[in-house]
Structure 1
Amino acid sequence: MRVLIVDDDAIVIQSCQRVLEAEGMEIRTARSVEEGEQALNRGDFDLMLTDIKMPGKDGFEMIARARRIRPDLPILMMSGYSVAETIEKSSQSGANHCIAKPFTPEELLEAVQHTIQENPKRFAIDGGTGK
């Protein structure tokens, strides 16, 4: 499974990358919406994780661009702001699922699994691990 992580925080990227690679996923990272868009134009991904709050363009803009490039791409939104309005806005913008920061490795894996299960036609989930 190929995953694109878009976040301006290097620690978040490294943490997510470590957890997901340990599950056998192939990770590509981007530190801005522009880098994320370039990655989507160049590669085929099975899932995108994106932060909401980033300098310049935000995660909602990243989702809009992703939906133009890959309308069927499952998207997991990460947010340090887990208020109801943020969750609702992420859903309305096209995110399949939202996870509140900070999260544990187990919470991340559960959110990834939930997100890909929402798109069963796209994935053959091996033993429920999402690999």
Structure 2
Amino acid sequence: MPKGKVLVVDDEEVVRLSCQRLLEPEGYEVFQAGSPSEAIQVVEENRIDVVVSDLKMPEMDGVELLKHIKEVSPLTEIIIMTGYATVASAVEAMKYGAFDYIEKPFRAEELKLIVQKALEHKKLREENLRLREAISGGY
């Protein structure tokens, strides 16, 4: 059984494949999407735990994608990656619910650690939600 489901969204296939090659040996089931619309479809059809998305894409940017994903899957954690890092773009991504922000090129260990932390955070949020429901159901 996989540790979790990770979706990698980038218009560059080489980036998607690199992320997949890094994450699959760690025990993750990795999905790929070459566009934001494809990513939304994958999220709607699968219980994705973590999305790793590029910020700059032709169809829509990573922050817009983040907003769409949070609407359909609020507990999914989203990591934004970009080669054009600015403080403003990082702040905007975090404001709309990104778990973290990573600059390209990134180190393999850096990506693995951020994905692991995002998955742990998602599991804690799910457990918290279950406990709240159990408590409110008991009273």
With structure 1 as the length reference, what TM-score do the two structures score? 0.88
Q: 1:96 aligns with which of 94, 99, 104?
A: 99
Percent of residue pairs identical? 35
Instruction: State the distance in 2 between where 1:120 and 1:44 align.
Output: 13
Maintained 8 Å contact 1:116/1:123? no
| Count of residue pairs the alignment pairs up | 124
1:20-72 CA-partner distances (Å, limit 9, x unpaired)? 00101101110111000111111111111111000121111110110110011
Counterpart contact for 1:75–1:97, Cα < 8 Å: yes
- Give the TM-score of the pair, scaled to structure 2: 0.83
Alpha-carbon contact 2:6-2:48 (below 8 Å) kept: yes
Give 1 or 2: higher helix fraction: 2
1:61 aligned partner: 64
Whole-Å separation in 2 of the counterparts to 1:82 and 1:58: 13
Equivalence map 1:1-131=2 (5 Å): 1-122=4-125
How far apart are the structure 2 equivalents of 1:114 and 1:82?
21
Q: Gapped runs of 5+ residues in structure 2?
A: 128-139
Question: What do you get for the CA RMSD once the two structures are aligned?
Answer: 1.6
Structure 1 CA distance for aligned equivalents of residues 126 and 70 of structure 2:
18
Q: Which runs of 5+ in 1 are unaligned?
A: 125-131
Structure with greater Cα Rg: 2
- Please give the secondary structure, in 1, of the residue aligned with 2:124: coil
